[in-house]
Structure 1
């Protein structure tokens, strides 16, 4: 296990982790096809993007009626992208409960270079067995805490230290609802940086238009790995826009090792081939960010709200009040029906 480089001035290397082919799946109901995956993976590889993540939006083993059935199975997605990458490393994501050790075994068999195991921000212990399995096989096993705005900087730092003890080679947080402002990020990443000696990562969503600013705050606070997606392709209002973040970091004096023109070409291809339109910050996305609700709920909330004739903004605020987390999609229906009944009463 190598120690993370210290947080420092300009010149520090920042590792960019491209989640377009995983988080972007949320935006198209997990329906990306084989040729779309191959085309973008080749473009990202040509640009020298260090890590390309692939899979269902909710990770390995998650394709289901509850959170969306993917057009392709995990094996097909992994083999397609693996064949397309010659320079970039391939990454996968798994949430315990959706994915299993068998899914990890298949990912390792497909030569996944990086495996991320995600849990709710206060439940890092759920990753212990999976991180141990990956550690024993010499895989770069990273751990990430979701819905991180629900925990204090001190609690997140404590969870990260435990994850390192379980075998995580890097740890980090996701702003799963796009709720953060830069000061929130600085406090949390700073606390994590002090608690661990492995690389720290940060993953932003753009519900309040702060994704690039929050990513900059993260790297200035000591983060070593930043997630981003081409054109922001991702759940809800989208993720940090990759082709904006990289030149911003380079202008600040940080190093990414990514070719600018190649990056811009990959982003143009993504807009043309992967998405009906780039993500936008619409009214529902703003409410989702304010309410602190998982961005991946957006499509499902809109569908259920339309069917039950209730205001999706009310659904989001009530989900936030109930502290709903990823995997609780069934709660969307319950909330909508409760709002409909209250209106009738």
Structure 2
């Protein structure tokens, strides 16, 4: 059985400038619940506490959005993403009080050790603790597996390979899942979070499932950073055609994507040259809008900014370097 997690109300926040209202969140959550989605992630795009000048101001607080989602579902579980250094235990505690029962603790793929306190707290306080290894294309399978074992040792019951840049292809996605599946205890699940910058989002998720991942993320209409995430309703159909079971009812899922989410989208999730450059350069998907704004300000091409960020190996949390890169390119 594949556990499907929807990220429309977290990763999708990047695409709408973190502007979802509690009413919109409730409508999307209710539709996902009716369709049988196992869990849905709700917060600022950079996790609880992410609303800031650095990452983008949200129109409404994480508290208001989590409460709205929790009040709209009867069976789906609510997940809160936390990035140590942005989110705090106080915010995680508040998310739990408002209805979140899953804590997804995200770190750069080489920094699992900074998640120990947060994963352990969630595990000790009746939240399901999940580890999120972001930018997983930046290190090899064996090193990634070693980081996953750390998260497992802190109390994570699921560890995710997160293709934050949409830079993996089916072979490299499967290699990483296989490495984690071999390294972790049998009872610890492996998850996969796909972005679509190389057009491989759904294909990577299917390859991950074949390699042993049992938790898969997606978002309705692909709503998410960069070119978007694996499109959840397409992934659900592809999993069914592959003979892999989920709890989702496909047509109700298609309906909420078409009737509720599509009208909320600022623009379609397409793979234009800028989004493609993110995957090709291996740059964090949420840099898309930041890079476009910086490029316009300094009169340079967004592609050039993204390629420079890739050359510098800039990762999430270093958004200020986007402006620095654009300014230096303009001076050249």
Q: Same fold (TM over 0.5)?
A: yes
Q: How far apart, CA to CA, are the structure 2 residues paired with 1:270 and 1:218?
A: 29
Structure 1 residue 247, shift from structure 2 partner: 0.9
Q: 1:244 aligns with which of 208, 226, 234?
A: 234
Output aligned runs, 1:290-329, within 5 Å.
Answer: 290-329=280-319
The Cα shift of 1:219 comes to: 0.2
SS in 2 for 1:141: strand
Q: Indicate which of 109, 115, 124 corresponds to 1:121.
A: 109
CA contact (8 A) 1:95 1:119 kept: yes
CA contact (8 A) 1:231 1:270 kept: no
SS of 2:230's partner is: coil
TM-score (normalised: structure 1): 0.94
* Match for residue 131 of structure 1 among 119, 124, 135: 119
SS in 2 for 1:80: helix
How far the C-alpha of 1:135 sits from its partner, in A, is 1.5
Number of corresponding residues: 330
Residues 159-204 of structure 1, C-alpha deviations (whole Å, 9 max, x = no match): 1111110111110111001101111011100000001120100001
Stretches of structure 1 lacking an aligned partner (at least 5 in a row): 1-12
For 1:85-96, what aligned pairs fall within 5 Å after superposition?
85-96=73-84
**Contact 1:237 1:280 (C-alpha < 8 Å) held by counterparts:** yes
SS in 2 for 1:81: helix
Distance 2:155 2:97 in 1: 20
Work out which of the residue numbers 136, 148, 163 in structure 2 matches 1:160.
Answer: 148
2:101–2:126 CA contact under 8 A, matched in 1: no
Confirm or deny: 8 A CA contact 2:67 2:99 kept in the other structure. no
* Runs of at least 4 residues off by over 4 Å: none
**3-state SS in 2 of match to 1:82:** helix
Name the CA distance, whole Å, in 1 between partners of 2:327 and 2:260. Answer: 37
Counterpart CA distance in 1 for 2:108 and 2:259 is: 33
SS of residue paired to 1:97: coil
Distance 2:114 2:245 in 1: 34
CA contact (8 A) 1:271 1:278 kept: no
In structure 1, distance between residues paired with 2:55 and 2:115 = 21
Two-structure CA RMSD over aligned residues (Å): 0.8
Moved more, 129-138 or 312-321: 129-138
Judge conservation of contact 2:15–2:266 (CA < 8 Å) in 1. no
Equivalent pair of 1:229/1:242 in contact (CA under 8 Å)? yes
Structure 2 alignment gaps of length 5 or more: none
CA distance in 2: counterparts of 1:30 and 1:269, whole angstroms: 20
After superposition, the C-alpha distances for 1:266-310 in whole angstroms (9 at most, x for unaligned) are 111244332133300000011111000001000010001001001
Distance 2:262 2:23 in 1: 13
1:269 equivalent to 2:259? Answer yes
The secondary structure found in structure 1 opposite 2:118 is: helix
